[in-house]
Amino acid sequence: MHYYPHYIDDFNAATRHLTRLERSIYRDLMDTYYDTEKPLTSDLRALGRKIIANTDEELAALDTILNEYFTLTDDGWVHERCEAVIAEYNKKVESAKNAAAKRWNMQRQSVSNASGMLSKTKTKTKTKSIFKPPTNAEVAVKAREKGAKDPMLLADRFVNYYESNGWKVGKNPMKSWAHALGNWIAKENDSRETYSGNNTRSDRQDEALRRYVQD
């Protein structure tokens, strides 16, 4: 322990009959007891050297204090009040450690959960951003849905063009082939003239498209 409570009234009441030397030795003994948190050695001279009490007068005062305020046991000189204070101190220290460990575990779990959520979000985002080149049949079906006049021919041209440039729009990787196809169809339709008999021609294209997709 690096700190202990000193109750002035209690100490004065218990030591008023002592000499100044004896009171000083008593305080030194308590300081040593709290510092080591264990009973004092029963070797009088060794204990005297520890608290700088080496003369015959000081050793006599030391012996008087030990016999009046301490109890000699197999472990050494025990002080009942000091033992109670040390036990209470260690109890608070242990409680503080447990509380700190609990807070740390909660924070670590919170960080772990947040990291897990972030990882899942990144995985989902990464999964959504993966581009899969379409087949000719997929492009033809989508082209027909978007109103292409010749979906099969357009699908072949579309796939061949983007396969040759690595499926890029300009310098950037393609993100949505359906969107790019829509732009192609708009340009294709603008460049074509309107023919008569569109209904008959469209029927023929529908039948040809069905055979193309089935193949």
Tokens coding 176: 């949505």
Q: What is the dihedral of CA 156, 158, 161, 165, to 10 degrees?
A: -130
**Per-residue pLDDT, 37:** 94
Mean pLDDT of 203-214: 59
> How many Å apart are CA 139 and CA 160, to the nearest integer?
11
Across the chain, mean pLDDT equals 84
Q: For the chain, what are the domain ranges?
A: 1-125, 136-214
CB 146 within 8 A of CB 181: yes
pLDDT band at 185 (very low <50, low <70, confident <90, very high): confident
Where do we find the tokens 């575990």? 105
**Helical residues (DSSP H) of 16-79, grouped into ranges:** 20-36, 44-50, 56-69
Is the pLDDT confidence value at 123 over 80? no
Query: For 83-114, what is each residue's pLDDT tens digit?
Result: 999 999 999 888 888 888 888 888 777 777 76
Query: For 55-71, what is each residue's pLDDT tens digit?
Result: 999 999 999 999 999 99
Strands (E), 25-175: 71-73, 76-78, 168-169, 172-173
pTM reported for the whole predicted model: 0.48
pLDDT band at 196 (very low <50, low <70, confident <90, very high): very low
